[in-house]
Amino acid sequence: MPVVAARRAVIINSLKRKISRDIIADMPYEKVSLHPVVQLADEVARIGGRLQAVFADAHSGSGLSKMETTILMSVAESRFAPTVPQIGRSLGHPRQVIQRAANTLIAAGLLETMPNPHHKRAPLLKPTSTGEQLKKQMSARALKAADTLLEGIDFARCATLARELHELRRDIEASLRSFSK
């Protein structure tokens, strides 16, 4: 074990040198975790907050909550009609939270259910024509906001990061599944 601890100390010291003072200064706490997963979680949360601010106008005026907007977008952009539990697992939210939002969207005429041949109690969700139209309007406003944001950010870098984050999410999900077995 002392060899492992020594290697860990070398890695940590190397990471300390690589972390810029600007990054540390931006963090709201005095002690900085050097574990890359903790840093990743922190950066994703910070980026998420900034992106929500950028896209807030795109979704305003729809009358939908953030969760309802997320569910409508998830269903409309899915390659196949998802179920509430599938959406919950994908987004990392409890099924009940997704179900409440889906029920609101169904009542508003933005989503509809279809029988699920694989499960009696978990119907498939699909957007109605009204839901598709609202999604298109919100997406058009979101694209304008994204284009404005990209005036100062490299498009290719964003595309690469999005792909890498998608791959990382899949790896994390696979790892979590293996822990639960």
CA distance 62 to 7: 54
134 and 145 within one domain: yes
- Total domain count for the chain? 2
Residue 2 shares a structural domain with residue 14: yes
28 and 41 belong to one structural domain: no
Structure confidence by residue, pLDDT tens digits, 68-107: 999 999 999 999 999 999 999 989 899 999 999 999 999 9
How far apart, in Å, are the Cα atoms of 180 and each of 38, 75, 156, 173?
21, 27, 36, 11
pLDDT at 177: 84
Q: Whose CA is closest to 101, among 129, 73, 80?
A: 73
How many other β-carbons are positioned within 10 Å of the β-carbon of residue 135? 19
pLDDT in tens, 144-168: 999 988 888 899 999 999 999 999 9
Domain extent at residue 9: 1-33
Say yes or no: 163 and 91 in one domain.
yes
16 and 104, same structural domain?
Answer: no
Same domain, yes or no: 118 and 146 = yes
Q: How many CB atoms lie under 10 A from the CB of residue 118?
A: 8
CATH at 153: 1.10.10.10
**pTM, two decimal places:** 0.72
Q: Are residues 150 and 97 in the same domain?
A: yes
Judgement on whether residues 173 and 127 belong to the same structural domain of the protein: yes
Q: Does 26 share its domain with 52?
A: no
